[in-house]
Structure 1
Amino acid sequence: MVYSASASVDHFPGASHQAKLTLEIVFGSRVLEFCHAGHSVFWEGDVASDAFMIGEGLLRLYRILPDGRRAITGFAFPGDVLGLAFHDRYLYTAEAVTDVRLRRFPRRRLHALATDCPYLHHDILRVIAGELEAAQEQMVLLGQKSAEERVASFLLMNARRVGKGQAVPISFDLPMTRLDMADYLGLTIETVCRAVTKLKQAGLVSMEGRHKVFLHNPAELSRFAGLDDFELAHPPWPKPALPPVETDPIETGEPGRGGFHQ
């Protein structure tokens, strides 16, 4: 069961201003919610009642295969919106890798608003198109690239999303575990570790501790991964800032299933 702390906020400015609604404005009207690391925002198969915009933190998106294996289909970063492309049920589980702050909005209400709001309609189409593009990129990643190319592509993807500045070496925190990387890249943990070691030996990357990553030559790493020239100044996904409002943590007696927890 999904527990919601969002206030029922359906009041927006008059019709002339409502026509200029965007996803950022709509989600900004909702209360900020909190989800602890290791707990789920929603589960695969649950009724898709809400869409979510991530304010802080990281979510892993995964499906469970019939034989029990976990397949990570992606990660959700600050500014990402989840839940717009579903029909009646969520197709994957969204689980917090780190502590996460987010906002939710009822999907039916959101699509009803978009009927009369061209800006909002365009925003929704943009998000859905981005999901399709990411799915195609992962198909190429899994179907055509070597283990080293997959790991290099994964590091570059994260640098574009969370890397700060363009000074070389580019540094960023990688909160995912090696198991997360393996389940996303279709590899074993041992293969991921060997691939990282090869990239280190080539002088392309280095690491500090378990999560700090340094890209020493992102352009060469991009060529190695079979990607276009690395460009951190223009990341492929926008990261809108959400206006701060009160945080509403949620408690439930059902840890780890379908809700946000303290």
Structure 2
Amino acid sequence: MFIESAGNSLRTISGVVAVQPTSLQALFSKLPSESLSAGQTLILEGDVATSVFHVVTGSLRIFRILGDGRRVITGFLHAGDILGMSFKSHYIYTAEAITPVTIRRLSRKSFENEIAISPDLGPAVFHQMSDEMAAAQDQMVLLSTKNAEERLCSFLLKELQRTLDAGARQTTVQLPMTRLDIADYLGLTIETVSRTLTKLSSKGVIETAGRHSVKILKRGKLAQMAGDGDEYEDDWRPATSQPERIRH
């Protein structure tokens, strides 16, 4: 999730002036990076939660395995997002790289110590946890009240907004996840996802370019089909400036 631009303030420790991070991103900025290949697991559901991670590049899927063996994807993470902040003693989900990923790792003990002494990091953590709760509620509404077409349209709108918030000036959405990933996230079958994408394309709402790229042609129509009414206009124009991102 994106909270605020990185910055620093000063604190004194035993008479020595030290730099104190004032954002979650800044907290990780001096740490060494680690690389994961596509398909590699970063954290495993049930393992002791020893670290907090900052995603520098790439994308991951977060999922849980049900008792009957089915996989339920609960979210996707991208550059700038932070994971592992759950205050439980064990990780409550598995995080797996979709693409090659670069991360930075901070021990939970160091993370908690920094939060305790910083007047800025506490509110940042609160905002992140609030956003994650809101995203979970949105997902529950989507799965409980929307049909297959509405779910996929809502997903595409959310990915479009993420793309625009990152500074894009066009409406082509990159989808690093597979169609099976999308199906497991939306509670659909892969056949339904493929069929609905074809339907949206035939109606001129989207235009597919390979398996990992979709251009949104009619944003207003897509919003209507998502059950969101007339919130957007089809005659889309890029904004002159982009707001700060707050992760879903």
Conserved? CA contact 1:79–1:238, under 8 Å? no
Q: How many residues align?
A: 226
CA pair 182-89 structure 1, distance change in 2 beyond 3 A: same
Conserved? CA contact 1:148–1:198, under 8 Å? no
Conserved? CA contact 1:19–1:119, under 8 Å? no
Q: Deviations over 1:198-245 (max 9, x none)?
A: 211221111011111100011221232133735985578447xxxxxx
Question: Residue 160 of structure 2 corresponds to which residue in structure 1?
Answer: 159
Conserved? CA contact 1:35–1:99, under 8 Å? yes
Q: What is the TM-score with the length of structure 2 in the denominator?
A: 0.84
Deviation of 1:18 after TM superposition, in Å, equals 5.0
Which letter maps to 2:121?
Answer: L
CA pair 111-215 structure 1, distance change in 2 beyond 3 A: same
Percent identity (aligned):
42
Q: Secondary structure at the match of 2:180?
A: helix
Query: 1:88 and 2:89 equivalent?
Result: yes
Runs of at least 5 residues in structure 1 that lack an aligned partner in the other structure: 1-11, 240-262
Aligned residue runs from structure 1 range 139-158, under 5 A: 139-158=140-159
Conserved? CA contact 1:20–1:118, under 8 Å? no
Tell me which moved more, 156-165 or 95-104.
156-165
Question: Residue 6 of structure 2 corresponds to which residue in structure 1?
Answer: none
> Alignment RMSD, CA only?
2.2
Question: Residue 214 of structure 1 corresponds to which residue in structure 2?
Answer: 215
Q: Greater strand percent: which structure? A: 2
Question: Residue 11 of structure 2 corresponds to which residue in structure 1?
Answer: 14
Query: 1:25 and 2:22 equivalent?
Result: no
Tell me which moved more, 217-226 or 148-157.
217-226
CA pair 58-235 structure 1, distance change in 2 beyond 3 A: farther
Q: Secondary structure at the match of 1:149?
A: helix
Q: Distance in 1 between matches of 2:99 and 2:77?
A: 11
Conserved? CA contact 1:51–1:83, under 8 Å? yes
Deviation of 1:76 after TM superposition, in Å, equals 0.5
Question: Residue 45 of structure 1 corresponds to which residue in structure 2?
Answer: 46
Query: 1:179 and 2:176 equivalent?
Result: no
Q: Distance in 1 between matches of 2:205 and 2:187?
A: 22
CA pair 25-35 structure 1, distance change in 2 beyond 3 A: same
Tell me which moved more, 152-161 or 35-44.
152-161
Question: Residue 227 of structure 1 corresponds to which residue in structure 2?
Answer: 228
